[in-house]
Each structure stands twice: as C-alpha cells, then as structure tokens.
Amino acid sequence: MAQRVIVDPVTRIEGHLKIEVEVENGKVIDAKSSGTLFRGIELILRGRDPRDAPHIVQRICGVCPITHGMASMFCLDDVFGVKPPPNGRIVRSLIQGANYIQSHILHFYHLAALDYVIGPEAAPFIPRYKGDYRLPKAINDKAVEHYIQALTMRKRAQEMLAIFGAKMPHVTVFTAGGVTERVTAEKIDQFKAYLKELTSFVDNVYVPDVLAVANAYADDWFKIGTGCKNMLVYGVFRLSDEDDPAGQKQFFKRGRYTKGQFAPVDISKITEDVKYSWFEDENTGLYPGEGATVPSPRKKEAYTWLKAPRYEGLPHEVGPLARMWVNKQKDVAALGEKAFSVLGRHFARALETSMVAHAMFSWLDQLVPGEPTFAPFDIPGEGSGVGLNDAPRGALGHWITIKDHVIANYQAVVPTTWNGGPRDDKGQRGPIEEALVGAPVKDADNPIELVRIVRAFDPCLACAVHVLEVKGVYKEPKRFII
C-alpha cells in the first residue's frame, strides 16, 4: 500500500512550496508540487504607466529582481520600438551577469549544499534530515568554511552589481532603451576588480566543491531526478546591436530540446494550462500574451497557485542544465543521459557561473566611457510587446499590452512556473513532479531524497506565486479561506 509523504514547507528555497508524494516499495510513484501563495503582480500593473513596469516587477522577488527588470525592459523596447545603444546593452548584461554569479553561489552554498555537507550542531546547519552524508571529513570541513566564505562573495557580487545598478535589490537604473547609469573609466576599473576576486572564487572554490560532491554521490545521484528531458531556453546576454528575432546573437542562444531533438523556439506555441491550478478554467490553454489572472481558490481538483506552462503541449525544464544542454556545452554534453539528474543540474550551474564570469571581462572591455547608455522613445497609445530573458533559474517571459497609453494587460511566465508547475489539462506532470517519480525514499521520516531533487532546480516560489491576504484559519480539506 502506498504511503503519503508530505514536505511542507520545503525549506532552503525562495518562497512557499509543498511537495506531496506517494511512496510504494521505497520509491515515489506519484508526486504533486504545490505553490501555496497567489501572485497578483499582474493585477497591480493594470492601468499604470508602462514605464513603471521595470520597477514594479522587480518587487516580484528580492532574489530575482534583476531578470524581471530585464524582461520588462525588453518588453518596453519591443512595444516602444526603441533599441539601446551599445553601452546600454552591455551595462544591462553586466548587471545581469553580476546577479547570475551571486544567485548561483547562493544556490549551491546556502540553499543546496547542506543536503550534502554536515555542519556544526547549530544554526544555520540545523535542523536537517538525517543520514546519507558521504563527503570525507576533510572535504566536508572545508566545505563548511566555504559556506562562510560564500557569504562574503555574495556580498561582493551585489556590490559589483551596484556599480552600474545603483543599488541591489531593486535597481533604479532600468529604463526602456537602455539604462540611466553613466559609464566611466573608474566604474569599469571598480567592476573589474570585483570580477577578478569573484572569478577566482568560482574557479578555485565553487567548481571544485561541486565536483567533490559529484564524486562522492556519483554512483546514484547522476541517475536520480531525471525529469521530463525536454529543455527550453530563451537566451540571455545579448552580444549584438543588430536585430535578433531568433535569439541567436546571445551568449547563451535561444533553443529547445524536445523528444530528443534540438529545434528553434516559436513563442506562439507557448500556452498555460490551469486545470489543476487555482485559476478560472475558461482561461486555460492560452498564449501568455492573451492570458488572464483570475483566481479561483476553492476550485476542485486544483492544488497549486502555479499554472502549467507548455511548449507544443509538452512540459519543458528550464534553467542552467537547459542552457548548457541546448547550447551543447561540451562538458555537460559529455555526461550524456547522466546530465538529466540532480548532480547534472548542479554541475551545469557551476560551469555556467564560470563561463559567465570569464565572459564579463570582454564585455567590460567593450564599454566606451562617456558614450550614451540609453535612447529616447515615445509611449504609443496602444500596442503589445514581448520580453524574453533567461534568469539564473531559467526561461523568463514577460508580455505587455498597452491601450490608451497605459498597461491594459501584463503577464509573466517565470522559470519556477515552468519547473514547479502542476499537471496540465492532459494530466502530464510538471518537470519537478516528473523528476520526483521513481526517486528512492529510504526513510519516510527523513525524506532527504525529495528535497535534494527539488533544490537542484533552485525553485523561486516568490516569482511563481505572490500576494495573498488570508482571512480565517486553514483547515483540511479546504485550501484557503480568503
């Protein structure tokens, strides 16, 4: 007989996530991923000046504000018909690159590493699940030291970001047509000094620590957490001022891997199902640009505030593994089928961090002090735009519709909606749900296997769900009393 195991909330992630699985003969046979708060940012944006969007959407999450601001700027560039000058394009990428470094260091050391590393019997190293810690003591103790060192490195990355972003989180320099920050030789030198320190940490500490974990857990954790094996990438870090509708003139190019085949992306084939989400059913299966956010918290069968994004009707994983796989990064590609795993995701993220850090030196060298960083624009009376970006956690899309010079509709489909979403209208599980199926659970009271799988995706539920006023008391079987 199957045993139900619930982890609620999953800790050491961003936001509120509940995982519920059915375990039979020591393996997961079914899984549900539930986001337990409602995100209403789209509703807040209606009727606002479009220029407000890059600043409001950064409030979706304090961990991921940069990429939301970027996607929103791309939306405005599209609908306003404006193109940033080279300095503006490059500064945007440098700001986002700094956020990538900070976010990936945060994920491994301060969110995921404690599933593999035993620290002192004190906060923040406890409480933790018991058992299955395999690192040799010398390597384990060094990893604990690196946990502390990583706090300083994250601070350095935030300070580096603020050189061109003015502050972090929620930078103030974002605008349609570029950024408002001036480029000076002094700022370039300051940024480069930070970048050298961070690159050294990534190459000499972060990557080796990930490899040490991979070596210790290679026998099984390169086989656990496979998921749907479909991959989707919008692309990130624009390398050219030329028009690029296919998303190929980027450091990480746009593309997908579906049913074992590499292929281009046609965003018109993206839809969102809501059969198992707390949203009105008449809005299911819509393209995000035509989407609606109409909550239905008492809906039967629903179990999450996340929608179920699909490409050509299929679930797709997004994130560092998707970017490395779709872009055929040689070390990840060399893993073959083992890449689709918990350790494959950690390995891909570490390699990506190093790649981005090294690339940023050449971007800095392309800046020209004193040259413009933004282009002027007019706000159209009506129109629509799309902003595609890849956040550290994966493919992020923003869609805007303007009428009478104000926002009439705004939709954001975020990485954790792709990864952590529920079953769709056809009953297909989301990527995290699918990755959990088949996983071993040796001890239902200490289901460390479940959280290892979930944390490898680096979910950010604040991005995927947001803003709920609860009135009353939560009681089973009701979900929420609003």
Q: Which three-class secondary structure string do you get for the chain?
A: CCEEEEECCCCCCECCEEEEEEEECCEEEEEEEEECCCCCHHHHHCCCCHHHHHHHHHHHCCCCHHHHHHHHHHHHHHHHCCCCCHHHHHHHHHHHHHHHHHHHHHHHHHHHHHHCCCCCCCCCCCCCCCCCCCCCHHHHHHHHHHHHHHHHHHHHHHHHHHHHHCCCCCCCCEECCEECCCCCHHHHHHHHHHHHHHHHHHHHHHHHHHHHHHHHCHHHHCCCCCCCCCEEECCEEECCCCCCCCCCCEEECCEEEECCEEECCCHHHEEEECCCECECHHHCCECHHHCCCCECCCCCCCCECCCEEEECCECCECCHHHHHHHCCCHHHHCCHHHHCCHHHHHHHHHHHHHHHHHHHHHHHHHCCCCCCCECCCCCCCEEEEEEEEEECCEEEEEEEEEECCEEEEEEEECHHHHHHCCCCCCCCCCHHHHHHCCCECCCCCCCHHHHHHHHHCCCEHHHHCCCCCCCCCCCCCCCCCC
Q: Rounded mean pLDDT of 202-219?
A: 98
pLDDT in tens, 96-122: 999 999 999 999 999 999 999 999 999
Residue 465 — pLDDT band, cuts 50, 70, 90? low
Residue 317 — pLDDT band, cuts 50, 70, 90? very high
471 pLDDT more than 70: no
pLDDT in tens, 17-31: 999 999 999 999 999
256 pLDDT more than 80: yes
Whole-number pLDDT of residue 15: 87
High-pLDDT (> 90) share of the chain, %: 89
Domains and CATH numbers, the chain: 3-464 (1.10.645.10)
240 pLDDT more than 70: yes
470 pLDDT more than 60: no
Mean pLDDT (the chain) is 94
Q: Rounded mean pLDDT of 331-349?
A: 98
Whole-number pLDDT of residue 381: 97
Task: Report the 10 Å Cβ neighbour count for 215.
Answer: 14
Q: Rounded mean pLDDT of 153-161?
A: 98
Q: Rounded mean pLDDT of 169-190?
A: 97
246 pLDDT more than 90: yes
472 pLDDT more than 50: no
469 pLDDT more than 60: no
Q: Rounded mean pLDDT of 207-227?
A: 98
pLDDT in tens, 366-388: 999 999 999 999 999 999 999 99
High-pLDDT (> 70) share of the chain, %: 96
245 pLDDT more than 90: yes
Q: Rounded mean pLDDT of 256-279?
A: 97
pTM here is 0.95
Whole-number pLDDT of residue 427: 97
